[in-house]
Structure 1
Amino acid sequence: MDTTTLHPAVAAAYRVLETGEPIGREAALALCSLEGGHALDIASLANKVRNRYGGGGVHACSIMNAKSGVCGENCRFCAQSRHNSSEIEVYPLVDDDAVIFEARASVEQGVSHFGIVTSGCGYPKMSAEFRRILGMIGRLHEELPTLKVCASLGVLGPETAAALAECGIAHYNINIQVAPERYGELIADTHSVRDRMETVRLLRKSGVSVCCGGIIGVGESMEERLDMLFALRELDVSVIPINVLVPIKGTPLEGAAPLPLADVVKTFAVARLIHPQKTIKFAAGRETVMKDFQGLLMLSGADGFLTGGYLTTRGRAVADDTRFAEQLSSFR
């Protein structure tokens, strides 16, 4: 391709398309500093890299909030924290039949990945509740054999990580959210991001594919966003979900200003150039924040999305997202 009409930083980044080798920090910073139409040039390159090196198709998954609210952690964006005053439905761990019902509905709508999500810091040690979750996963495998079962249960220890590996889950989600050095200030100080990173390492050591990403729009700079993306590269995770903050009433971030669209586009595009062969999933904020521009984000390097809802905020109907994925395929 003739790159002579492109900004030199974008032209240099075309090496990723040719070799599959990710860009370094200096190149990423140069791309993030570009403005105007250059953002679309970065997006176009990221889309080409995704098409050449990604897994093919669109990775769609749905999740179930299997245990809601009364979380003792003080995450600044989260409606489920008891430190915040958001009005949400609160309930303990649901029974197996409720999980089977939701998972079956996902399968019937053509969704291949289904995640069980619980509120709280996690399960660093084996407990009766954790054993119940293992039983749920076993039933899902037995009754819905085509379904890829995933989980997001917080921080784990060696025993619980090994037990999930033995259950054969498809992916485990635990996000580092932001640059590790800013986690205590921007996200929460009742627990450490190091515990989350150690959970990633435990799972990978046990052979579990890890879904680990972050959230943008919580007060971080673009450089700190890159710190998060490069930390994820060091962790060598398989799936990278990127959430765009949905300000929720009753949380400290309820009045946060929306990010400029160009910044979001550049974040997704540069994430693809840093992680050419990973799955990059557009999570929260796709419908409610990006609205008319969500298709652009899916053509800026992303190759996956959450469908059907986001724990305490609404998503979009699976049928609508199925048509959306079909329409995106015409650009491949």
Structure 2
Amino acid sequence: MPRGIVAREFGGPGVLVAEDVPDREPGPAEVLVRVHAAGVNPADTYIRTGEYSFFKPSVPYTPGFDAAGVLEAVGSEVSNLQYGDRVFVAALGLASSGSYAQQVVCDAAAVHPLPDRLSFHQGAGLGIPWTTAYRALFQRGNLQPGETVLIHGASGGVGNPAVQLAIAAGATVIGTAGSEEGLELVRSLGAHHVLNHRSAGNLDSVPTLTGGRGIDLVVEMLASQNLEADAELLAPRGRIVVVGSRGSLTFTPRVLMVREADVRGTALWNMTPAERKQAQSAINQFSADTGPATATATVFPLDDAAKAHEHLMSQAALGKCLLDCT
């Protein structure tokens, strides 16, 4: 029997238990994927608590929306996919049995061809992280060629693709990270400037780096800590897109008024079908033409999903977090 992670209650990482699960069969508009690798995302950890405002599954459930593997079966209504195809799964917002498993059944619309030159580990990171990065930069941030973007946490799961997409779009990228390893990773992705966000005064050089103009777009992973400092760095009519926050803060609205600047939130759960299609098409095109850089990933065995959740939310997390499901 295949293995899968089953959460029979909400709570801490310990509720994620590996079990033998029955073989699955796809419905008419579904496919069955033999999973080689599954992506572990921050949203998975929030959902596990049962207190996530965007999504609360019925228990028991198998977590996970992202995966990569090989098609083992296709439903009778599926004509664009076939047995043996290498694919990646990006199932947020679509029907799925959960990707933390050796098999996943999902809506055929969640499945996309995985280019031969990309590994299953790379493919398992193409769902939530790349869609979040694309939405933050373009659908919410309206990034234009020639603009300057500051990407906080550029060494992380979302920051990593954000750097690559922004560079491909012709932007100047300033990326931050919190360790020497992280800084080197951001440099390797091609960021034009790299700053250590754990150093005092780490943003003091931004005016010089931008020729005094300021930042056009900030992709913010921890707004509760950085929002006002971000706003003070903005160019006229600059934008901040909030991807993540872990609390509240005191903020001075006049900082925005002076610059006629915007603060915009984003969450993939709010995407329209048209926005989802646009983002996925762009990601597929990037994967086919350029391909994601081979970047740092921390890989855990499927049975150690609880440890993966603990790691992901720790300060040690760098790059993508994955489960090996082979």
Shared fold (TM-score, shorter chain, > 0.5): no
Greater RCO, 1 or 2 (C-alpha within 8 Å, sep 6+) = 1
- TM-score when normalising by structure 1: 0.29
Greater helix share, 1 or 2?
A: 1
- TM-score when normalising by structure 2: 0.29
